[in-house]
Amino acid sequence: HGQCPSSPCALPRIPHDPSTPREPVRAHSQPVRLKRASVVPDSSRHWRVSAKKRTSTRTVAMPNLVHHVHGKKRVRVARTWREGDVHHFVEWMVQVSIESDMEHAYKTASNKGMTTTDTTKNQCYVVAKKMAHRCSPEEYVMTLGQQFLDCYPLISAVEVSLEEKPWTRTSVKGQPHDHGYSMQGPCTRTAQAVVRRGAAAQVTSGMLEFKVLKTTQSGYEGFFTDKHTSLKETKERILATSLNVQWTYGVGPVACYNKCYDQVTETLKELFFGPPKGGVYSPSVQYTLYQMGTAVVERVAEVQQVTMNAPNIHFIPMNVPGMPPFNDDIYVATSEPHGDITATVSKDQIFQAVSKL
């Protein structure tokens, strides 16, 4: 192909000297045969590319199994501890992920040494039975993880997590019932443990959908606006969210996980709502989350880091035609679309990701 004369890469045209005879253009009597390189696999599973007068070796990445886990999800375990006439009840949704020396099960037709997901499910009930005395969710997930390491030598690590249904002891005529429960708790409690051979268990506690709301003492103003901004500044609004919270523990032993859970819950409530009389003003969800997280790591000695996710539950002022104007009284309740705000507060200056397999 010719090049554009205006191209910087175009070669200058050289004028022909009339005194020099032109060489005639001759066609090849035989077609030009191009040598095709040969490509053959060598013993190292790399490809060797070779051609006459030229040999080069090129390494081509081969597909490889770089990570694998197996386990069981949504194992529903219920447990009753009978202490005389008073019974204590829990319901857990358990999930187990196993890391093991089972690469051959993926690469060959052999299942030798495989701990089946059915066995995994059954171990959840075996360990629940072994917990003869009332235990916290954290104690259960650590014990279950260790059970897999003790029973199956090919397993190197286990991640066990659970969600606890909010069953709470019911009261009749103002008295706690011996064996009656109702599901009216504020949220779902969570616990997780990653157990590895030769290492201490890494425990994470938390809660899901801890719904909190206050009808006043909240505002939002001073934010950036442009032609696409429809949100109006306000010093008076409903603040509501469905908190998802996770916290990790320091190096030392935890005497009572249940106590830590109660302390974290009470601290979150106190910093969100403020004093019973008058409350506390919140200039933004971000500011309030930081205050809550700071109080948790300062007041609960065992907690190392806390992460709070706060999806907004919106209550939009509603002006009904033909009725008096809005007076902080009538709202449209909606949760979609919603803002989503997350903050992590740590005793240290370093963010630590929650341990996972």
Is 117 annotated among the ligand-binding residues?
Answer: yes
pLDDT digits (tens, 9 = 90+) for 242-253: 999 999 999 889
The Cα–Cα gap between 49 and 47 comes to: 6
The Cα–Cα gap between 134 and 283 comes to: 42
DSSP-derived 3-state class of residue 168: strand
pLDDT score for 61: 79
State whether 315 and 239 are in the same domain: yes
pLDDT score for 56: 58
Instruction: Supply φ then ψ for residue 324, to 5 degrees.
Output: -55, 155
> Which single residue is written with the structure tokens 């969210």?
241
The Cα–Cα gap between 282 and 257 comes to: 30
The predicted model gives 286-303 an average pLDDT of 98
Stretch (H or E) spanning 137: helix 137-151
* 249 Cβ neighbours under 8 A, 6+ residues apart: 203, 205, 260, 302, 303, 304
The predicted model gives 131-145 an average pLDDT of 97
State whether 101 and 179 are in the same domain: yes
**Which residue, of 143, 174, 197, is where some domain finishes?**
197
Is 312 annotated among the ligand-binding residues?
Answer: yes
Please indicate, yes or no, if residue 4 is contained in any of the structural domains: no
| Residue 309 reports pLDDT greater than 90 | yes
Under 8 Å between Cβ of 79 and 137: no
pLDDT score for 125: 96
- Give the catalytic positions in this structure: 72, 117, 314
By residue range, what is the domain housing residue 76?
Answer: 67-197
pLDDT digits (tens, 9 = 90+) for 154-198: 999 999 999 999 999 999 999 999 999 998 878 999 999 999 999
**Which residue, of 170, 197, 224, is where some domain finishes?**
197
**Which residue, of 197, 226, 258, is where some domain finishes?**
197
State whether 148 and 233 are in the same domain: no
State whether 247 and 151 are in the same domain: no
> Which single residue is written with the structure tokens 């903050």?
343
State whether 292 and 221 are in the same domain: yes
State whether 271 and 333 are in the same domain: yes
* 110 Cβ neighbours under 8 A, 6+ residues apart: 104
| Residue 123 reports pLDDT greater than 60 | yes
State whether 304 and 173 are in the same domain: no
State whether 236 and 131 are in the same domain: no
pLDDT score for 4: 47
Is 263 annotated among the ligand-binding residues?
Answer: no
Is 118 annotated among the ligand-binding residues?
Answer: yes
| Residue 136 reports pLDDT greater than 90 | yes
User: Exposed, middle or buried: residue 195 (CB in 10 Å: 0-12, 13-18, 19+)?
Assistant: buried
State whether 84 and 106 are in the same domain: yes
How many structural domains comprise the chain?
A: 2
Please indicate, yes or no, if residue 29 is contained in any of the structural domains: no
State whether 321 and 224 are in the same domain: yes
| Residue 26 reports pLDDT greater than 70 | no
The Cα–Cα gap between 174 and 183 comes to: 17
| Residue 109 reports pLDDT greater than 80 | yes
| Residue 345 reports pLDDT greater than 90 | yes
Indicate the pTM of the whole model.
0.79
Q: Which residue has the higher pLDDT, 14 or 149?
A: 149
User: Exposed, middle or buried: residue 212 (CB in 10 Å: 0-12, 13-18, 19+)?
Assistant: middle
State whether 219 and 347 are in the same domain: yes
Please indicate, yes or no, if residue 306 is contained in any of the structural domains: yes
| Residue 13 reports pLDDT greater than 90 | no
Is 285 annotated among the ligand-binding residues?
Answer: yes
| Residue 354 reports pLDDT greater than 90 | no
The predicted model gives 44-63 an average pLDDT of 60
